[in-house]
Amino acid sequence: MAGYVIRRILWGIALLIIVCALTFVFFRVIPTGNPALLRAGRDPTKGHVQEIEKVLGLNKSLPAQFWEYLKGVFLHGNLGYSYYSNESVRSLIAERLPATISLAVGAAIIWVGSGLAVGIISALRRKTVMDRAAMGTALLLVSAPEFWLGLIVLFLFADDIGKFKIFPGAGSYVGLTSDPWKWFTSLILPWFVLAASGAAVYARLMRGSLIETMNEDYIRTARAKGLSERRVVRQGVRASINPIVTLLGVELGVLLGGAVLIETVFNIPGVGRLSYTSIINSDFSVIEGTVLLAAMFIIVANIVVDIAYAYLDPRVRYS
Amino acid sequence: MSTGEPLLRVENLKVDFPGEDGVVHAVDGVSYEVHEGRTLGIVGESGSGKTVSSLTTLGLTRRQGAVISGKIMFDGRDLVTLPEDELRSIRGNDIAMIFQDPLSSLHPLYRVGDQLVEAVRAHREMSKQQARERAVELLGLVGIPDPRRRVDEYPHEFSGGMRQRAMIAMALMNDPKLLIADEPTTALDVTVQAQILALMERLQSELGMAIMIITHDLGVVAEMADDIAVMYAGRIVETTTAERLFSAPEHPYTWGLLRSIPTMEGYTWGLMKAMASEGPPGRQDLVPIPGTPPSLINPPSGCHFHPRCPYSQPEHTRVDPPLEPVPGGEHHQVACLLESDIRRRLWEQLRAGQTPAEAIAEVEMPEAPL
């Protein structure tokens, strides 16, 4: 087990370097704006631009730039400086991380909780009106793009522009520490929208998995033993949850991608919106910082999921 | 057969499954009895309704939308009409069941011991510690070595035979009066099969429970059963004591089953004949029953077995034979339209090694078979 974890961590670091390299190449090869030009202000002279390029290190060769960057990241935890505002990328991200974590954790709870609950109920009440309604809604939510769903929800329920002024709308986010209640209410709509498609996927998966499990021989054995139906279902859920846990690692990536859109639509000052504005501004080092953070998050989550899986399934533990 | 009130009495049990292609008549009017301390063997091909009838005894076909009629009397109560929660208190308690595939019948994610413990704690107040002791004791009783250690292992750490032993231990946790064993040895190696059967026999003599063993294998019931019921297409076509079924079978389907099991004599005799190239080789070899089991949605008219029966007469396609006592045979019933005298002479010929065609020529049937 320990050997396995170490192998996974080493492989994770290798993966991070690859992600670094890919983003580095992408955003320099793809013709976006020249960051030096963006910083130089109106009508810059050629010499001025060259000077800025020199300061930012943009005049060096690409491999040399990359090497400098890697050294900074892995030796000093230094993600570089924003070309745009000169602030350190690390502090830019650190400032915005709490908002993103609030959004992601809340959404993940709603997503997993409601997804599993709806899936289990649907599986047990198979082919009833409730099951069909739940699965129809799930299909709708899976198909709806987050930015569209976000706008619809704001249009319907936001207290400024909504038809039914129920929940705080875009731009109402405050930190948890400054006002917990406002923090909570401001996140209700974003949580719901971000969780929607994931919850729908989970509901469908859980339903399918549980229906299959409830036909297994060991469920028949459980019934033949005279266990109460509640306990029988619990054994079924216990067995059907494993494949879904595996998916959690993958789905977290989807969640983070969604966070970029949701933070933009709801105007939440988080890492997602930071990455959005940095892309607009061709702010390479900030883009790289946020991509690296997301990659690290997904890699760590996947390692955690795999270790958790070994605890959930004794057959994995022994092989 | 012993006299007195039977432990389990099934009367005219019918189980239908309404489906998209029509109603499946899985069990079509079956009656049998299981007496205390005795073993009933139910024999038949897949799809003959033998498993469905036993699952129905435990109420396990209810949630599959089965339409059930008839009576299943157990301990003075009719299990067909018993409310679910009362039936649940009987399941795994007074009547326990073990299944065909011991690998898939144990929950892969729970320890074997925990699965035994919950079986007993579902029915009686017992501390976890006591229940665990009981589990260790029973695992030992069914012949699992080092039960105190193995009680904490998972099913995948057990071999196939061990898993079936664990299933049996689980079934015995509550001292059942009746153990239903549905193809208990089919998924096991031949040597392990013999061990499991011997184990069940030993446990029966030690604990005195009744056993209902469901199988497609006449060899298994030959070893275990006191009484045998042969099922075909959802019905019992012949029922008698095990002894009599093997010495004087009456139904052509039973003959087919008997001729399709390997016996030492059959094999060697056929082989010797083949080596001496005397006559057609392998005439005494295993003889399969021609055709396939009938549709349970639209069963054949008349006698359900007539399309596969070498001796069927034209009128057998119209008349549905009832299960009737065999003249001169105590506790022997058969559902066959052939004259009992003709049946007896046909079996004499078959037993002497003739093929059905030769037997027919010898016995002068009233009309040419279909």
Tokens for A141? 């939510």
Q: Which amino acid is at B134?
A: R
For chain A, list residues whose CB is within 8 angstroms of any CB belonging to chain B.
Answer: 216-218, 220-228, 231, 235, 238-239, 242, 312-315, 318
Predicted local distance difference test score (pLDDT) of residue A248: 83
Is pLDDT at B354 greater than 90 in this prediction?
no
Is pLDDT at B369 greater than 60 in this prediction?
yes
Chain A residue closest in CA terms to B171: A225
Predicted local distance difference test score (pLDDT) of residue A67: 86
Chain A residue closest in CA terms to B122: A227
Buried b (16+ CB within 10 A) or exposed e, B298-335: ebbebbbbbbbbbbbbeebeeeebebeebeeeeebbbb
Question: Does residue B167 sit in the same domain as residue B260?
Answer: no
Of B91, B107, B124, which to mutate for an interface test with A (greatest number of A Cβ within 10 Å)? B107
Predicted local distance difference test score (pLDDT) of residue A287: 87
Residues of B in contact with A235 (CB under 8 A): 107, 110
Count of domains forming chain B: 2
Residue B260 within a domain: yes
Question: What ipTM did this prediction achieve?
Answer: 0.85
- From residue B168, alpha-carbon distances to A268, A315, B98, B198 in Å are 61, 23, 7, 12
Lowest mean pLDDT among B77-81, B229-233, B246-250: B246-250
Whole-number average pLDDT of chain B = 87
Predicted local distance difference test score (pLDDT) of residue B271: 46
Question: Does residue B253 sit in the same domain as residue B356?
Answer: yes
Chain A residue closest in CA terms to B90: A226
Question: Does residue B254 sit in the same domain as residue B358?
Answer: yes
Predicted local distance difference test score (pLDDT) of residue A318: 56
Which of B171, B194, B220 delimits the end of a domain?
B171
Mean pLDDT in consecutive groups of 10 residues from the start of chain A, 319 residues: 82 89 79 70 80 80 84 81 84 92 92 94 92 93 89 89 85 87 92 92 94 94 93 94 84 84 92 90 84 88 84 74
Predicted local distance difference test score (pLDDT) of residue B283: 44
pLDDT in tens, B267-322: 444 444 444 444 443 445 567 788 888 888 999 999 999 999 989 888 899 999 99
Question: Does residue B257 sit in the same domain as residue B356?
Answer: yes
Identify whether the C-beta of residue B210 lies closer than 8 Å to the C-beta of residue B201: no
pLDDT in tens, B3-49: 578 999 999 999 999 988 899 999 999 999 999 999 999 998 888 88
Closest CA of chain B from A221, distance in Å: 6
Residue B13 within a domain: no
**Residue B263 pLDDT level (bands cut at 50, 70, 90):** low
**Residue B370 pLDDT level (bands cut at 50, 70, 90):** low
How many CB atoms lie under 10 A from the CB of residue A20?
19
Closest CA of chain A from B180, distance in Å: 10
Which CB contacts under 8 angstroms, 24+ apart, belong to A34-39? A34/A58, A34/A282, A35/A83, A35/A84, A35/A282, A35/A283, A35/A284, A36/A83, A38/A83, A38/A84, A38/A281, A38/A282, A39/A83, A39/A84
Which of B121, B155, B171 delimits the end of a domain?
B171
CA atoms within 13 A on the CB side of A62: 9
Residues of A in contact with B104 (CB under 8 A): 216-218
Residue B141 within a domain: yes
Residue B75 within a domain: no
8 Å CB contact of A315 and B108: yes
Closest CA of chain B from A311, distance in Å: 10
Residue B292 within a domain: yes
Q: Which domain holds residue B125?
A: 110-171
Edge to edge, what strands does the sheet with B227-232 contain? Answer: B95-98, B178-182, B210-215, B39-43, B227-232, B235-241, B333-334, B324-325
Closest CA of chain B from A250, distance in Å: 24
Domain architecture of chain A: domains with CATH: 2-76 (no CATH), 98-318 (1.10.3720.10)
Is pLDDT at B131 greater than 70 in this prediction?
yes
Residue B207 within a domain: no
Chain A residue closest in CA terms to B104: A217
Residue B84 within a domain: no
Q: Which residue has the higher pLDDT, B364 or A216?
A: A216
Residue B289 within a domain: yes
Which of B126, B147, B171 delimits the end of a domain?
B171
CA atoms within 13 A on the CB side of B303: 24
- A221 closest CB neighbour out of B99, B154, B156: B99
Tally C-beta pairs within 8 A across A and B.
74
